Amino acid sequence: MKGSSCERGAERSPSCSENPETLIYARKWRIYSSAAGALLAFVITAPEATAASTTPAPAARQSSRSAALLADVDYQTWQHDVAAAAALLRPYIEQRTANASGQKLAVVLDIDNTSLETYFHDVWEFPTPATKPVLDAARYAKSRGAAIFFITARPGILHSLTEYNLKKTGYPVDGLYAQDLPDFFDKVSKYKTAKRTEIEARGYTIIANIGNNTSDLVGGHAEKTFKLPDYNGELS
């Protein structure tokens, strides 16, 4: 089935080519719409399912969706590239949290293909596994006294399921922001910047903002940003 005009390559409209966020948003909206139905069905029909029966093996296969988008990038390549990008996180967190007594420090994370391996697992594979280098960094930051916040472009209907997924896979969660209906009429980058501003208004200093798309990271309100691979926007 074809997607929107922003997803069809040669048929992409001029407005889409001028605004890469439109393409990213269109892809994510299709995924989140499918995920809402699939994950709600999971909760209704299989609440007693164990992690062993629902979590794929570490050598995860690519979903048909990710295979189509990332023909030249397999799971192992992505894992290698993520590990390389995330290698700077722990030493930075260690340095920044040293002698930070009395400060309210925070780390902000994107979710899809940053905190969770979304594109490499089909939507009915729930909970989606954590991206291990990012999970390790988040847990280390928490152990050093930093609060852990997540800002996602997922719709609010998935808030509870997303929070469950994060906690089930080992993430500390001090706050989770998902999009309300009015947010979908604005740029993702503007929405995420506004949420970081809200976190700062609560007295936190955001020492690190971690994401895999430019829209996760632009707009300031973080001392340092860390970008994971998105392969020129193909991995949203």
Whether residue 190 lies inside any domain: the answer is yes
Instruction: Please spell the DSSP secondary structure of 106-143, one letter per residue.
Output: EEEE--BTTTB-GGGS-TTS-SPPB-HHHHHHHHHHHH
Whether residue 235 lies inside any domain: the answer is no
**Number of domains making up the chain:** 1
Whether residue 38 lies inside any domain: the answer is yes
What are phi and psi for residue 110, nearest 5 degrees? -75, 165
The model's pLDDT over 6-44, given as tens digits with 9 standing for 90+, comes to: 433 333 333 444 455 545 544 554 555 445 544 544 443
Whether residue 153 lies inside any domain: the answer is yes
Whether residue 232 lies inside any domain: the answer is no
Strand partners, 65: none
CATH of the domain at 155: 3.40.50.1000
Lowest mean pLDDT among 24-28, 73-77, 157-161, 187-191: 24-28
Residues contacting residue 70 through CB under 8 Å, at least 6 positions apart: 62, 78, 119, 231, 234, 235
Lowest mean pLDDT among 24-33, 64-73, 124-133, 195-204: 24-33
Whether residue 216 lies inside any domain: the answer is yes
Say if residues 198 and 227 touch (Cβ distance below 8 Å). Answer: no
pTM of the entire structure?
0.74
Q: What is the CA radius of gyration of the chain?
A: 17
Reported as a pLDDT band with limits 50, 70 and 90, residue 102 is: confident
Distances (CA, A) of 176 to 99, 112, 114, 236: 27, 13, 14, 19
User: What's the pLDDT score for residue 28?
Assistant: 53
Whether residue 183 lies inside any domain: the answer is yes
Name the amino acid, one letter, at 79. Q
* Maximum Cα interatomic distance, the chain, rounded to a whole number of Å: 55
User: What's the pLDDT score for residue 7?
Assistant: 38
Looking at residues 82-92, what average pLDDT do you find? 97
Q: Provide the domain limits for residue 197.
A: 5-227
The model's pLDDT over 118-128, given as tens digits with 9 standing for 90+, comes to: 999 988 889 99
User: What's the pLDDT score for residue 68?
Assistant: 47
- The pair of structure tokens assigned to 197 is 């501003």
